[in-house]
Amino acid sequence: MKPLADKVRPNCIEDIVGQDHLLGENGILRNMIKNGYISNMIFFGPPGTGKTTVANIISNKTNKKIYKLNATTASLEDIKEITNEINNLINYNGIILYVDEIQYFNKKQQQYLLDFIEKGKITLIASTTENPYHYIHKAILSRVNIFEFKLLEKNDILKALNRAINIFKKDLSAQIELENGILEYISTISSGDLRKALNILETCIYSCIPNEEGIIRVSYNLVRENFNSCFINIDKGQDYHYNIISAFQKSIRGSDPDAAMHYLARLIEAKDLVSICRRLLVIACEDIGMAYPSAISIVKSCVDSARELGFPEARIPLAQATLVLATAPKSNSTLKAIDLALEDVKTKDIGDIPNHLRDAHYIGASNLGRGIDYKYPHDYKNNYVDQQYLPDSLKDKKYYIAGKNKMEQKINEYQINLRK
């Protein structure tokens, strides 16, 4: 039996929901299709957002022979079979090769296609759920246009579900009654994935037995009890996962505790304890640092507690650590100081360590001049004495610049007074 998602799949651009930036009035893809211009293209975005549908519509609008491959199962021989057909085409204006999930093509497969794409013998239309800049050969990237498909809005999914209900009624020759709020609920929990929404609707309808009058009634409780949480797409190690991690850190850096809680909740829902703990420890030093030096100790305690507890209890110390960091004063002086020092070590003639600072704990060290002129700070007032510590070539270099926050300004004031 054909899945509902395939039955509902539009055959024209006007019936596609969402992607207004590409397919709306004066959208670039919409106008390209109207003008009959087909270029090499890669459609990139989450599942269930219309990539395959648009590719099918484009294919049907051309006078080219269409071949379809799924990169998860296709071999190099499959590609060669298609390219061997190029010189045998009659009444066709070339070939369109549609490759689904192109990120699974290996380097050799991508390079084989390159020559045919470059000479215009094949028009490539591909789709991928992963960022093509991470997976696709650079030579191919330079010859294609990349169009990003975005998660669908709730109202877009709702529109498609209503269309699906009408198709269901015709297929089943039955009356379908849905309790109020069901389609809105499905639109919400599918989190921008239309295919997911259609699968939920299809499952719910087919799980109901028609009554004596032949009416299929779907209750709200049936849907709620069996599909009780939003679908969150977080594949560890993939692009969307790193986007959430990035948003999490940037929200904390931006002192927005509410946004930080939201992205933490996404990561907790994905059960990604390792990434959360690692990121919190980094943030404590990178974004708070010397503005609140004890933040790292608090965060380390919370992280240790979370690892000890495991989910679901781990969410509580993780939330505490996140709020501590999001509401703390911010400073990146630690990060800047070490990066400046590393840059000099990597790129400059840093010179030798001054003789008076070198190790002198061995017989004969004094004969080499090691440690002779070293002044022990604890022998002086305030445990400080002026002497050179940096190599001669860097002796006036300044790496640590105090941030403009209460803690570091106090540190700066102390340093200045010490040197007086």
* Residue-level pLDDT at 272: 86
Specify the pTM.
Answer: 0.69
DSSP 286: I
pLDDT for 250? 95
Domain span(s) for CATH 3.40.50.300 in the chain: 19-148
378 token code pair? 């604890």
Distance CA 195, CA 5 (A): 6
Q: How far is CA 65 from the centre of its chain?
A: 36
Question: What's residue 34's pLDDT?
Answer: 83
Q: Which residues contact 4 (CB under 8 A, 6 or more apart)?
A: 164, 167, 168, 198, 199, 201, 202
The per-residue pLDDT for range 225-274, each reduced to its tens digit, is 888 766 555 555 566 778 889 999 999 999 999 999 999 998 998 888 99
Tokens coding 18: 């969402």
CATH architecture for segment(s) 239-327 = Up-down Bundle (1.20)
Per-residue pLDDT at 329 = 94
DSSP 401-419: ---SSHHHHHHHHHHHHHH
Residue span(s) of the chain under CATH 1.10.8.60 come to 154-226
Q: What is the DSSP-derived secondary structure letter of residue 356?
A: G
Q: Which fold has domain 19-148?
A: Rossmann fold (3.40.50)
Segments in the chain below pLDDT 70: 1-3, 63, 88-93, 173, 229-239
Distances (CA, A) of 282 to 228, 235, 275, 278, 288: 34, 22, 11, 6, 10
Q: Token match 């390219």: residue?
A: 83
Reading the block at residue 86, the tokens are 């190029």
Nearest to 302 by CA among 286, 316, 289: 316
In CATH, the architecture of 154-226 is Orthogonal Bundle (1.10)
Q: Where in the chain is the domain with CATH 1.20.272.10?
A: 239-327
pLDDT digits (tens, 9 = 90+) for 368-408: 888 888 998 999 888 888 999 899 889 889 999 998 999 99
Identify the pLDDT of residue 113: 86
Identify the residue whose tokens are 């390159």: 114
pLDDT of res. 350? 86
In this predicted structure, what is the pLDDT of residue 146? 92
* Ranges of CATH 1.10.3710.10 domains, the chain: 345-419
Structure-token pair, residue 205: 């309808």
Nearest to 332 by CA among 289, 374, 373: 289
CATH class of the region 345-419: mainly alpha
pLDDT digit string, tens, across residues 28-62: 988 888 887 888 999 998 888 888 888 888 877 77
